[in-house]
Each structure stands twice: as C-alpha cells, then as structure tokens.
A and B are shown apart, each in its own frame.
Chain A
C-alpha cells in the first residue's frame, strides 16, 4: 500500500480536531484499542455535546407540554419549541417560521404531502414526475397514491455518468405533470441534482415541486427562497440532531389550501361533536404532543452547524470525497458508483469484485470502520445499476483523511480474507 500524505493534499477549512472533540462518541473504541472510524453519516450522523446537552437541559429544567399551559414550565417549554422552529426557519431562509412544520422525519414530511396535498389535488391520469435515484421515502408514498388514485408515475432517468437526464426531463414535462418530486442529493450515488433548474422548468409548466433534502440540508447551504420549491423535506438525525423529528417546509398559500394530515389535539381551532375547524399554520399539521425535546435538540444542531458554517462544511466534504475517490480507485477490483467528485457530495457507494457488500462491511467493522451495506433504501436504483447491493462510505464534518486511509487499509484486509 502506498503511504500518501493526505494532510498536505487536503485543505481542511476548520480545525478538525476541535470539531471531533465536540462529538463524544468519536472518542470511543469499537473494541479495546480499536478507535471508531465512523463513515456512515449518510444513514445517521453523530451528535455534538451541544445537542445532547440541550436535550438534557430541557428535561432537567423546563419539561412540560407545550401550548395552552399557563404555568411557568409550560411557557418555557413552548418558548423552547417555538424557538427551535424559528432557528430552523432561519437556517433554510424560510420567509416565516409558520411555514416550518415539525414531522417525525423526512419520510413523514413526504407522506404528509402525498396524503394531504396529493389526495386533494391529484386524480386519475395525473402525472407525477420522480427520478430513478429516489430513496424509498420518495417512491412508496406515491406508489400508494397511484394505487388509490390511479395517477401516473414517470421517472427522470439516471445516465451512465450518474446524473439526471435533463433532456428526458424536458420531454416528460410536455405531459403536463401536476408534481415534480425529486432528491436534492442521492444517498447512494452522492449526485447533487440541479434543483434550481429542475424547479424553474417545473414551474414553467405549472407543476408543484417537492425537494427531498434529507441529504442536502445537512451538508450544504439550502435556501428555499432561491430554490423556489413548494416543499422541502428533511430529517434532524442526519444533521447532528436527534432522531424522531424532521421538517416539512412549504409555501404559505399551498399549505393554507391543504386539508390537514392527521387529526387530534393541537391541530384544531375548535372541535364539536360532529365537526372541527383546523388550526392555523403550522399547528394545522402537528396533531398531538410533538417531539418537544427533539425539537430543542434540532434547534441546537442548527445553531452548531451555523456556527461552523455550511459553506465550510461543504468545502470539507468536497475535499474528503475527492481524496476518498482517488484512494478507492487505487484498490484493484473496487468500482465506485456515481459521478465525479465535482458533481457529488460526501458519499461513495462501491463494490469489490467477488465480495458481497455485507462481507466488506463485516470485515471493515473488525478494523473499527463503520460503513453501510445493502441497497440503502434505493432498490430501483440498484436494479438500474444491475447490482443487488453496494457498500457505502459517507463523510461529514468530523471525518478526516486519515479515516479514509483506514478504510483503504480495511479493503486490503477484505481482499486478503477472500483471496
């Protein structure tokens, strides 16, 4: 194995050791003497001390149910929850915090649109455009609706280079789609899609647009006003926040015109034995007691990411993926899927000739290196690639070039076991 000097090749835009010290779990050893090399942030990111402490602090100091309470703790809890909403709104440059709806995760946010907007606005024969590289979260809700409503699903193809075929997209737009719903960044190929262009063209034919930002919002600056999307969905746990909370951003008019999603407490203005009046935004879409401490954690995560700067994080990941692709290509038998580094975020899905991805992941784990193996909830994309599964290494603000080197060393161990 050639020992390169990664630190000289990579310009890290912040003090990486300082950042790593913010994440308690990065100090642990997977087994005695074996430090953790966490390369699975695309599935779920690690959490900084600031997020863990914010949630702890909420439970220790001011836990109570929100809204309608008059006592001090209820007031403080409400302020903490709504404060988190305001932080998230600023983070994505939403015009108003009322347009930020807390959901369980990005999946639930997309389901909310499918059930509330889709059921009210789509009917038999209506065209919905998706892409071939969607996560199951942006496929199955539309499959369910297609069965129920007999709508027609069309897919923007992925070309050999791992990019969306925009010529075919222009042809599909002549079908007069009602909705274009697409990923901002593929969780397998890492492809960053030309979202502004896709949205501009969709709007030109009067289609509503939904951006699955599960992989984009954690990794680079996303501005809903410059995107011009009608909806943006993302998950807290992929952006240094806790599990159990996600976000749906929506345009004010479209959200106001939509019927509610789930019924229950908090989403109503008034309830009678045989009728109800829905509440105003955003509460109309938040039935029941929400994930309050999790919202506080997400607010802290947004503060943490903002303090470091999304542009610096994106630059770091760009450097990491460029280095990772270079090193992976050195390993005989390795094939990396997706576009070149300039078109992708910090995700490298790969295969190794003659070895199933599960076995790759298992042997890498023996060296403390955590990668994911499988179809990463994108089975149709793997069918298109003609492979049942891939191994996937993904990078975030706390990963270092030395960890890429550990991955490469691990891959040589895999080759030895299977030689």
Chain B
C-alpha cells in the first residue's frame, strides 16, 4: 500500500498542476473507461515550432488515473507530436514509479490513450494505442 499510493500519486490526485481545459486549443480529445466510468479529456496548444506549449486534462476517476494524467501532461510539454506518438505504457509506469495489475493499468493508461488518439486525429480511442 505504501508503495502503491506513493506520496506523489496522492499529492497529484489532491493538488493537480495541469487540471483544466484550453479554449482555443489545437488538439482536444476525450474518452471513458467503460469498466469504471472514469472520464478524461486532454487539451493541447502547440507553439510555433509545432511542439506542445500547453497541456491540460479534465475529468474524474481514481487517484491512479488522475495522477497519471497530471504527470503525463507535465511530461509532454515541449514534446513534438511525433514524440508523443512514441510514448508507451512503460513511460506511464515510469512516471508513476509503481507496477500495476491489469485492472489498474487501464486506469493509469486512460490519459495516454486519450492523448494519443487526439494526436493521431482518430475518431475513437483504441487500446492498441497503449499496448
């Protein structure tokens, strides 16, 4: 438990740094985790160089899903869209600093799935994006 709910996760859950929406934005996407009803929206603004200048997330969910979204938004600032397309679940696990079982992994990966679906310009998010 002490491992799982690391201080950074509880802290990011209670005091997220990147919660909100961006209007206008260059990229916006949202999706749900049908198993638990978690919902995440991601908005991005790009700079003149095409790299991410601002990133926010909004929605609701467990500490793992919300903390991973907050950490992910922080990590993509300055990245190109191509960099984002290369992100994998290992990057998320590294950000969280914990190992997760299959059910909670879905919570942790929801924000990455939403982010990549938006960057790829897809109509619907797919689990293939984070496999």
Chain A positions within 8 Å of B, measured between CB atoms, are 354-359, 362-363, 366, 373-375, 379, 382, 388-389, 413, 417-418
How far is B61's CA from A379's CA once the two chains are assembled, in angstroms?
15
* 22 CB-based A-B contacts, threshold 8 Å: A356-B60, A356-B61, A358-B36, A358-B62, A359-B5, A359-B62, A362-B4, A362-B62, A362-B104, A366-B1, A366-B4, A373-B36, A374-B35, A374-B36, A388-B60, A388-B61, A389-B36, A389-B37, A417-B1, A417-B5, A417-B10, A418-B14
Using A357-B62, A359-B64, A363-B1 as known contacts, say yes or no to A418 and B37 having CB atoms under 8 A apart.
no
How far is B39's CA from A382's CA once the two chains are assembled, in angstroms?
14
Min CB distance A337 to B, Å, is: 15
Most chain A beta-carbon contacts within 10 A, residue among B4, B60, B61, B62: B62
Which residues of B lie under 8 Å from residue A418 when comparing CB positions?
10, 14, 63
How far is B35's CA from A388's CA once the two chains are assembled, in angstroms?
11
Which residues of A lie under 8 Å from residue B1 when comparing CB positions?
363, 366, 413, 417
Which residues of A lie under 8 Å from residue B60 when comparing CB positions?
356, 388
Which residues of A lie under 8 Å from residue B61 when comparing CB positions?
356, 358, 388
How far is B93's CA from A269's CA once the two chains are assembled, in angstroms?
59
Main secondary structure of the interface of B (DSSP, over half): mixed
Chain B positions within 8 Å of A, measured between CB atoms, are 1, 4-5, 10, 14, 35-39, 60-66, 104, 107
Which residues of A lie under 8 Å from residue B63 when comparing CB positions?
355-356, 358-359, 418
**Nearest A residue (CB) for B100:** A362
Min CB distance B120 to A, Å, is: 27
Report which of B4, B14, B39, B66 forms a contact with A388, defined as CB distance below 8 A: B39
List 17 extra interface pairs beyond A354-B14, A375-B36, CB under 8 A. A355-B63, A357-B36, A357-B62, A358-B61, A359-B62, A359-B64, A362-B4, A362-B104, A366-B4, A374-B35, A374-B37, A382-B37, A388-B60, A389-B36, A413-B1, A417-B1, A417-B10
Contact in complex: B62, A356 (CB < 8 Å):
yes
How far is B124's CA from A396's CA once the two chains are assembled, in angstroms?
41
Which residues of B lie under 8 Å from residue A373 when comparing CB positions?
36
